[in-house]
């Protein structure tokens, strides 16, 4: 069986950064991804990132992905397995995998789980009709394959994803009929909201979708207004002709592997659902398993990359690879995360992280 110091599961922004940081620290690293290419969801992010220079602000997600992949490609001590899905992670530090349709096993001293998150569904009549797509799916279709998802799109959710994907639809020449937001306020950054509004797309707050209808695929949607108690305002229903309903109503961490590995799990609404308890270095209750990125709590790609770096360096340090440079990297990563999560925008995530790190729930000191 092949042996590694650190095995990183998932080659998106968090996993790529973790592999790069651990590789730089001198660890023998294996990075696996179930897809036939690295980059995760970065490969469809055509917008420029926010944050400071250290988090590559002003660079488009697609370009950040190639930079990270190139950096890893230059490291002889980092190996990559593509088309490799993790199946099980065990107490004896064995990972079982389906690698190019073959069952394989490896051993690693530390694991960094960076499996990301998946699109959330919303309950409404007809939500199973073809034409009801997750926002990520719409992005993949148009930004990776250059296929427009339809002609008239109804966007559900005015958080950053809903706003950014709406703008990307406009760039691809697709008509966005309206953006609905159930809460009374737009959740995303106002700079994104202003861009779609300037393009003439109405953002209807306190509105939601009641039904998607059509014979074999979406032909229209019934929308309605919500009152202060989130109930449908009687008589507010109206029908609009659309062929795509795009759901941007949040993400759920993809935690299957962490449950299977018996990490202590805790439900934290602010982080998107069940997540693993972790310490300040992103180490879970299973000392050989670290987490980074959306699987640790749904946030932005910028913070996912810094979390990857933190987990990669912290795991390398545990392996005895500490150097002054590594220590400096660790403190810089912590400082960057603090800055990214500062201010009122970071309120929710700070509350969530405090809960996810709290030992009280499990009687951990």
| 30-63 CB burial, b ≥16 within 10 A, e <16 | bbbbbeeebbbbbbbbbbebbbeeebbeeeebbe
CA 341 vs CA 75, 166, 268, 295, 333: distances in Å? 31, 25, 17, 17, 12
**Residue whose CB is less far from another protein, 241 or 364:** 241
The footprint of another protein (CB under 8 A) covers 34-36, 41, 46, 60, 118-119, 121, 128-134, 136-137, 140-152, 171-173, 214, 216-219, 243-244, 254
Beta strand pairing call for 220-225 and 238-240: antiparallel
Q: Which helix (H) or strand (E) holds 265?
A: strand 265-268
CB of 295 to another protein, least distance (A): 13
| 170-188 CB burial, b ≥16 within 10 A, e <16 | bebebebbbbbbbeeebbb
> What is the C-alpha to C-alpha distance for residues 257 and 9, in angstroms, rounded to an integer?
10
CB of 307 to another protein, least distance (A): 20
Beta strand pairing call for 207-213 and 220-225: antiparallel
Helix (H, G, I), strand (E, B) or coil at 178: strand
CB of 179 to another protein, least distance (A): 18
Question: Cα Rg for the chain, rounded, in angstroms?
Answer: 21
* Torsion of Cα atoms, 118 then 124 then 126 then 129, to 10°: -10
CB of 153 to another protein, least distance (A): 9
**Residue whose CB is less far from another protein, 104 or 219:** 219
CB of 117 to another protein, least distance (A): 10
**Residue whose CB is less far from another protein, 134 or 329:** 134
CB of 219 to another protein, least distance (A): 6
């Amino acid at each position: 069986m092949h042996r590694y110091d650190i095995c990183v599961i998932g080659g998106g922004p968090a996993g790529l950064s973790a592999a790069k940081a651990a590789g730089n620290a001198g660890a023998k690293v294996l990075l696996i991804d179930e897809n036939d290419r690295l980059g995760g969801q970065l490969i469809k992010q055509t917008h420029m990132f926010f944050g400071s220079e250290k988090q590559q602000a002003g660079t488009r997600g697609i370009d950040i992905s190639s930079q990270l992949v190139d950096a890893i490609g230059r490291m002889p001590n980092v190996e990559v397995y593509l088309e490799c899905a993790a199946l099980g992670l065990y107490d004896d530090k064995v990972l079982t995998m389906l690698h190019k349709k073959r069952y394989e096993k490896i051993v690693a001293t530390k694991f960094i789980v960076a499996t990301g998150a998946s699109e959330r569904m919303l309950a409404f009549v007809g939500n199973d009709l073809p034409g009801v797509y997750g926002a990520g799916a719409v992005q993949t279709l148009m930004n990776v394959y250059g296929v427009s998802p339809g002609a008239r799109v109804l966007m559900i959710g005015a958080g950053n994803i809903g706003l950014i994907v709406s703008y990307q639809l406009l760039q691809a020449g697709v008509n966005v009929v309206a953006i609905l937001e159930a809460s009374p306020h737009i959740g995303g950054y106002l700079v994104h909201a202003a861009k779609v509004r300037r393009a003439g797309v109405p953002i209807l707050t306190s509105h939601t979708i009641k039904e998607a209808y059509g014979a074999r695929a979406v032909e229209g949607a019934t929308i309605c207004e919500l009152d202060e108690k989130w109930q449908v305002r009687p008589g507010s229903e109206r029908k609009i002709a659309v062929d795509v309903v795009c759901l941007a109503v949040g993400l759920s961490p993809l935690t299957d592997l962490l449950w299977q590995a018996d990490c202590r799990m805790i439900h934290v609404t602010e982080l998107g659902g069940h997540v693993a308890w972790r310490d300040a270095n992103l180490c879970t209750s299973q000392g050989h398993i670290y987490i980074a990125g959306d699987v640790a709590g749904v946030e932005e790609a910028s913070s996912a990359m810094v979390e990857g770096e933190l987990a990669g360096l912290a795991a390398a340090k545990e392996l005895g690879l500490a150097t002054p440079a590594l220590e400096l990297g660790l403190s810089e990563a912590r400082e960057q995360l603090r800055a990214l999560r500062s201010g009122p925008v970071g309120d929710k995530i700070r509350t969530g992280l405090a809960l996810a790190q709290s030992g009280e729930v499990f009687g951990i000191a």
